[in-house]
Structure 1
Amino acid sequence: MFGVTTSDDYQPVTWVGRHPVHVTTLLVAVHIFLMVVVCFLSALGATGFLGALIFDSAQVLSLGRVWQIATYAFVHLPYSATALLWFAVEMYMLFAFGRELERYFGRRAFIIFYLLLLLVPTVLLTVVGLWTRVGIAGSATLHLGIFLAFAAIYPHVEMLLRIQMKWIALIFVAIGTLAALANHNWADLIALWATVITAVSFVCFRGAGPELEWWSNFKSRLQPKPKFQIVSRETPRRSPEPENIHESIDPVLEKISKHGINSLTASERRALDRARNSLLKKPQ
Structure 2
Amino acid sequence: MNMPYWSNEQGGEPLFWVKNRPVYLTGLLIIIHCCTFIIGVLAAAFDFSPWFVELSFNTRSVLLHTKVWQLLTYPWVHTPSLAFALDMLVLYWFGHDVEHALGRAKYLLLYFSLIFLPAVLSLSITAINPTLTGIMNGSDLIHFSLFIAFSCLFPSSELFLGIQSKWVAIIFLALFSLIDIASKSWMHLFWFWCSVAIAAYSIYGRRVFHFLSPLKTKIVARKIQKPKDQVSSPLYKKKTDEDETIDAILDKIAKKGMGSLTKSERAALERARIALLKKDQKK
The reply on whether 1:92 has 2:94 as its aligned counterpart is: no
Compare relative contact order (CA 8 Å, sep 6+) and give the higher one, 1 or 2.
Answer: 2
- The whole-number CA distance in structure 2 between the counterparts of 1:206 and 1:158 is 27
- The whole-number CA distance in structure 1 between the counterparts of 2:206 and 2:88 is 25
What displacement does 1:45 show?
1.2
Unaligned residue ranges in structure 2 (runs of 5+): 218-283
Residues 34-113 of structure 1: matches in 2 within 5 Å? 34-78=36-80, 84-113=81-110
- The whole-number CA distance in structure 2 between the counterparts of 1:24 and 1:178 is 30
Counterpart position of 2:190: 190
From the CA coordinates, give the structure whose radius of gyration is larger: 1
Residues 1-284 of structure 1: matches in 2 within 5 Å? 8-78=10-80, 84-130=81-127, 131-132=129-130, 133-205=133-205, 215=211, 217=213, 220=216
Question: Contact (CA 8 Å) 2:210, 2:216: kept in 1 or not?
Answer: no
**Match of 2:91, as an amino acid?**
L
- The whole-number CA distance in structure 2 between the counterparts of 1:37 and 1:62 is 28
The share of aligned pairs that are identical, in percent, is 30
What displacement does 1:67 show?
1.1
What displacement does 1:219 show?
9.9
What displacement does 1:42 show?
1.2
Counterpart position of 1:231: none
Tell me the TM-score normalised to structure 2 length: 0.68
- The whole-number CA distance in structure 2 between the counterparts of 1:2 and 1:220 is 33
Question: Contact (CA 8 Å) 1:38, 1:75: kept in 2 or not?
Answer: yes
- The whole-number CA distance in structure 1 between the counterparts of 2:59 and 2:211 is 35
In structure 2, the CA distance between the partners of 1:124 and 1:219, relative to structure 1 (3 Å rule), is farther
Question: Contact (CA 8 Å) 1:11, 1:107: kept in 2 or not?
Answer: no
- The whole-number CA distance in structure 2 between the counterparts of 1:191 and 1:218 is 29
Counterpart position of 1:244: none
In structure 2, the CA distance between the partners of 1:18 and 1:213, relative to structure 1 (3 Å rule), is farther
Question: Contact (CA 8 Å) 2:134, 2:187: kept in 1 or not?
Answer: yes
Tell me the TM-score normalised to structure 1 length: 0.68
Counterpart position of 1:247: none
- The whole-number CA distance in structure 1 between the counterparts of 2:193 and 2:212 is 22
**Match of 2:193, as an amino acid?**
W
In structure 2, the CA distance between the partners of 1:42 and 1:52, relative to structure 1 (3 Å rule), is same
- The whole-number CA distance in structure 2 between the counterparts of 1:188 and 1:163 is 28
Structure 1 vs Structure 2 CA RMSD: 2.5
- The whole-number CA distance in structure 1 between the counterparts of 2:30 and 2:209 is 31
- The whole-number CA distance in structure 1 between the counterparts of 2:214 and 2:54 is 44
**Deviating more after overlay: 6-15 vs 103-112:** 6-15
Where 2:55 maps in the other structure, the secondary structure is: coil
**Match of 1:32, as an amino acid?**
C
In structure 2, the CA distance between the partners of 1:64 and 1:218, relative to structure 1 (3 Å rule), is farther
- The whole-number CA distance in structure 2 between the counterparts of 1:50 and 1:149 is 29
- The whole-number CA distance in structure 1 between the counterparts of 2:160 and 2:100 is 23
Unaligned residue ranges in structure 1 (runs of 5+): 79-83, 222-284
- The whole-number CA distance in structure 2 between the counterparts of 1:30 and 1:167 is 31
**Match of 2:39, as an amino acid?**
V
Counterpart position of 2:232: none
Between Structure 1 and Structure 2, the one with more helix by share is 2
In structure 2, the CA distance between the partners of 1:220 and 1:2, relative to structure 1 (3 Å rule), is farther
Where 1:52 maps in the other structure, the secondary structure is: helix
Q: How many pairs were matched up?
A: 210
